Structure 1
């Protein structure tokens, strides 16, 4: 079997498919990637077919102050749709050269679905985050109609009559579980395979014996998160009973009592932690819950609010306001998840569901069934 993985130049979206690609290769299948070059080439192993230039459509260009509909409008009008238009010729060339039996398209690489449908190829959606499965715009019909119109224009430009490009009619691989995300409201066939958490890279030996609390906002929120990170340092400095570690990509924070790092081997560090404070990014949430860690979630934008809702609904953590939380609020939330056993129990339930879901092996099996 020959599998073409069509992805955007976003590490978080590529991460679960790297594990799937490894399993497919180990089973003797041929795997190739397709996406904007050279960014994708730096994030994957194996052959890469270039598709478009992501520079004009980088999410890094989005003003950090955008929230709510303004952030959603930028995402669709200035990133998702232009990126699909730009990638489509390269994806078509990759399909012609590689001759895949099946195409896997990330939800933010809609060119994969466009070209696969046009060529009559079976294709699967890679849902690296579960947000869209819950139909977040279902209660906002005007915004949902606006998104539909943008997609209709995209399909018309490329001569495709397919429905919603975010959901393959053949298979949607959801890298989560029902225990966290709930059941899908979609008509498309959804397979909950659980997250693909990478193996710990290296060791971490910084624990001093106290409960470790890690604060991280991911790698792309440094500008928007400076205030929140500073408040987190103050919060943890006032908790001598815990060991605090704050990830500060800018390197601007200073503290004598709280650990600071520009980057951390996250999976390795989480193995020693007792709780995590984060922005609600899907990979960070899943890596924390895979370690059975309760969460304090302060969503910033995009899918993060929905992830925060899922965490609280599962009883695995609490939610605070990213833009308003002061050190006292953060300290109170951290104290709550550390001292209330129900949150640890909720995180443990999610961890068990992840372990039972199958991960990359299960995803690879579903893709084999498409051919």
Structure 2
């Protein structure tokens, strides 16, 4: 069987597809992953041993025009514009020709797309190839996105000779998700079948040893893992994001804790300002090495970091900035696994951290959510379901 995966270049979108693609490849199926020739995406696929089928990205001036407008707008209006004119607009139109060529030459039995890659949604239907989706967002945000991009997707459909369908193909697509039922907030899409829930795959939790790692500060204070690594590609562009780092450092610096801050590869250390004595800064430390020590995790609520943290039963403080992060923050708090702070105020963030560190109910909520995630279908059952869809 031949399976074509399709994704935008961002690592947070590529990564959720990798376990599916790798497992199918290991079972002897022929797998390719279509995405643009971005250095980070290509490196991630190479590391996973997955074949890459390149498609084009938008011209720099087109992308700059979209990002300029996103910067000028605010809140949901900015994100809606970015999805409509960026992901479902210039990016999808640029990807379409080579993606259609790949489908013609590779002749996949199935196309698997992630939530922000829209060219394959249309190209697969035009080629009469069945398709499924892997959700990189929680259900509230998936529903919201579908409503924002209906017109843009209908334009794509017209480009390849399909009739507009007012979003039906996207809403009715069979979807695989690693978000738990307790994260399902807001009304469901009327014509969407139930999602197939797949337990997040996490590395085995290390056992804390008597020999502490270099990044672990000495002492017996509560240990916070503060991670903004999911902001790597944005941090260098946005003063708002750089300021968020500084506010978080101010909040953590005021508390009787010790903390590790990971910044990702882009954020210059000098942009952080004064680093408190109780904070250690690193570009990256594998999360599995940190979690045995962590009393809580402070993050902005990117799906990958949030799900892997909650899968380990660790409570969270979520300080969202944009995209799906506010929806994730609301869901985590509603599930009782942490607190959300929507105002970027150091005192309010510090108060939330104190509450999460001392609340037995929140810690119990995080552990309950970890059990819920662990009870979902294992990856091998998801793969069997995918194979059965092709058979049907």
After TM superposition, the score normalised by the length of structure 1 is 0.88
Instruction: State the 1:110 CA deviation.
Output: 1.0
- Structure 1 residues 143-292: aligned runs within 5 Å: 144=147, 147-161=149-163, 162=165, 164=167, 167=170, 169-182=172-185, 185-186=188-189, 187-194=191-198, 196-199=200-203, 205=213, 206-207=215-216, 208=218, 209-217=220-228, 218=230, 219-222=232-235, 223=238, 224-240=240-256, 242-248=257-263, 249-252=267-270, 253=272, 254-292=275-313
Runs of 4 or more, structure 1, over 4 Å off, are 58-62, 131-134, 200-204
Q: Does structure 2 retain, via aligned residues, the 8 Å contact 1:36–1:52?
A: yes
Deviation at 1:43, TM superposition (A): 2.2
More deviation, 84-93/124-133: 124-133
Bigger mean CA offset, 218-227 vs 191-200: 191-200
2:140/2:184 contact within 8 Å kept? no
Q: Which residue is equivalent to 1:141?
A: none
TM-score by length of 2: 0.83
Deviations along 1:117-171, whole A, 9 cap, x unmatched? 0111110012111245663379xxxxx4x63222222211222235527736351
Describe the superposition over 1:258-290 as per-residue Cα deviations: whole angstroms up to 9, x where unpaired.
111222323332342111111111111101101
Q: Taking structure 1 as reference, are residues 194 and 176 closer, same or farther at Cα in structure 2, changes over 3 Å only?
A: farther
Contact residue 178 and residue 192 of structure 1 kept, 8 A: no
Do 1:4 and 1:103's aligned partners in 2 also have CA atoms closer than 8 Å?
A: yes
What is the aligned-residue RMSD (CA, Å)? 2.8
The Cα shift of 1:363 comes to 2.5
Higher relative contact order, chain-length normalized (CA < 8 Å, sep 6+): 1
Are the counterparts in 1 of residues 223 and 294 from structure 2 also a CA contact under 8 Å? yes
Partner residue, 2:373: 354
Q: CA deviation at 1:184?
A: 6.8
**Does the CA contact (< 8 Å) of 1:315 and 1:343 recur in 2?**
yes
CA distance in 1, matches of 2:362, 2:72: 31
In structure 1, stretches of 5+ residues that fail to align are 139-143
Distance 2:320 2:24 in 1: 34
Cα separation, 2, equivalents of 1:54 and 1:131: 28
Match of 1:325 in 2: 345
CA deviations over 1:59-113 (Å, ceiling 9, x no partner)? 8775398432123213321333211111111111111221111110112111111
- What residue is the counterpart of 1:344 in the other structure? 363
* Alignment correspondent of 2:337: 316
After TM superposition, the structure 1 stretch with the greater mean CA deviation from structure 2, 37-46 or 270-279, is 37-46
